[in-house]
């Protein structure tokens, strides 16, 4: 599969790059961004970087996190590659909707089963299989993976990790949509993408998945207490209650005064990267 390099910028002695490729899974051209830390003596001996996959939120592209989160400094120091996919399939032939919370920019990291979405909206498979395969075939990375995200992307990170035992070393999220089957964003998207059978929605709901989990993956969630979407859309209390009932040791931190923006992410991204490094960099 061919990759087209769109840009490459030096940052903290590493490289922030953006690529385009044709996705068989999504049946369209896709972009993703990669940060590769600087080479070191250990790299010259043939070792490679573990990867943190970052999933962004509604209306975002692969550029929001790479430009606003300030993650490269700590990723360079720790020796962790960052891979940031776009949030949905895109293009003139890809179905869309006039609202910001459905269609292009709002893929919800699921595999759609309903027309007209099902031919292209398969972000779950793309993030789980196609993109890691592409990254691991073309970049100096290992097969050790962690996953994180924000808002809709936090939902995606939790779901992908919880559904795939052993695939990731750890998972974290900022302000995730924790219980999408019971919030307006999730109900709208799931109705369109998955249809009226609400039982099929449960496979993409972190609160439900935590209650069923047989593996206790290291999990960190950061939530701002001044987040405008906290009560109506995000519902971290539902996830926390399900985790407590199931004995799942999720770490949920509430931060006074912080909102839903990338200022919040930038304030705590170092903590999240160090959290993942504890598991990604183990011998």
What positions carry a catalytic annotation? 151, 227, 260
Beta-sheet strand order (sheet of 219-224):
4-11, 14-23, 28-36, 81-85, 49-55, 141-150, 171-174, 219-224, 251-255
Numbers of helices and strands, H then E, in the chain: 10, 9
Please state, as a whole number, how many other Cβ atoms lie within 10 Å of the Cβ of residue 54: 28
CA dihedral 222, 170, 280, 258 (to 10 degrees): -10
206 and 162 in contact (C-beta within 8 Å)? yes
Please state, as a whole number, how many other Cβ atoms lie within 10 Å of the Cβ of residue 114: 14
Q: Distance between CA atoms of 141 and 177, rounded to whole angstroms? A: 30
Q: Distance between CA atoms of 158 and 203, rounded to whole angstroms? A: 11
CA distances from 108 to 25, 47, 58, 155, 197 (A): 15, 34, 8, 8, 17
Please state, as a whole number, how many other Cβ atoms lie within 10 Å of the Cβ of residue 270: 16
Identify whether 201 is preceded by a cis peptide bond (ω within 30 of 0).
no
Please state, as a whole number, how many other Cβ atoms lie within 10 Å of the Cβ of residue 7: 11
């Amino acid at each position: 599969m061919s990759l087209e390099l769109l840009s490459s910028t030096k940052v903290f002695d590493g490289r922030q790059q953006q690529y385009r490729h044709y996705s068989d899974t999504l049946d369209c051209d896709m972009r993703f961004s990669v940060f590769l830390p600087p080479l070191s003596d250990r790299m010259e001996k043939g070792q490679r970087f573990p990867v943190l996959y970052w999933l962004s939120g509604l209306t975002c592209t692969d550029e929001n996190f790479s430009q606003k989160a300030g993650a490269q400094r700590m990723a360079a120091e720790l020796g962790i590659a960052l891979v940031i996919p776009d949030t949905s399939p895109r293009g003139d032939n890809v179905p869309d909707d006039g609202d910001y919370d459905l269609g292009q920019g709002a893929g919800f990291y699921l595999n759609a089963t309903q027309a007209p979405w099902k031919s292209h909206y398969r972000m779950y498979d793309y993030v789980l299989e196609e993109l890691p395969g592409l990254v691991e075939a073309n970049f100096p990375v290992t097969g050790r993976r962690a996953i994180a995200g924000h808002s809709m992307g936090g939902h995606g990170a939790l779901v992908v990790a919880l559904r795939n035992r052993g695939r990731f070393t750890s998972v974290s999220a900022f302000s995730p949509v924790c219980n999408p089957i019971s919030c307006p964003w999730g109900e709208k998207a799931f109705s369109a993408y998955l249809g009226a059978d609400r039982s099929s929605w449960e496979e993409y709901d972190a609160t439900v998945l935590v209650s069923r989990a047989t593996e206790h993956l290291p999990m960190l969630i950061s939530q701002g207490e001044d987040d405008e979407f906290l009560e109506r859309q995000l519902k971290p209390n539902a996830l926390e209650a399900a985790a407590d009932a199931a004995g799942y040791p999720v770490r949920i931190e509430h931060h006074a005064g912080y909102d839903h923006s990338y200022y919040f992410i930038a304030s705590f991204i170092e903590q999240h990267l160090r959290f993942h490094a504890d598991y990604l960099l183990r011998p």
